[in-house]
Amino acid sequence: MISLKELKPNETGVIKSIGGSRPIRRRLMDMGITPGAQIIMRKVAPLGDPIEINIRGYELSIRKAEADQITVEK
């Protein structure tokens, strides 16, 4: 298992867990990032932050620090 920020563009994974503080974890879960959901890494900004992902049929941009808190399985 790896963190979400380690996925390369167009790679997919399944979310296994979400770490971080309670407010951050709650915010990510409110955006649809929940354990068991399939996630696709779309693209990474030129300077590395933010990253764009596809989850549950919509595009979402999150910070790399937030992506580091999300554990995925390829």
Q: Which of 41, 42, 38 is nearest to 14 (CA)?
A: 38
Beta bridge partners of 12: 40
Task: List the one residue out of 8, 1, 20 whose CA is nearest residue 52.
Answer: 8
What sign results for the dihedral spanned by CA atoms 46, 48, 49, 55?
Answer: positive
What is the distance of C-alpha 56 from the center of its chain?
12
pTM: 0.85
| For residues 25-54, average pLDDT | 91
- What percent of the chain clears pLDDT 90, i.e. is strictly above it? 76
Its CATH class, for the domain covering 2-73, is: mainly beta
Tens-digit pLDDT profile for residues 13-35:
999 999 888 998 999 999 999 99
Domain boundaries in the chain?
A: 2-73
- For residue 71, the one-letter residue type is T
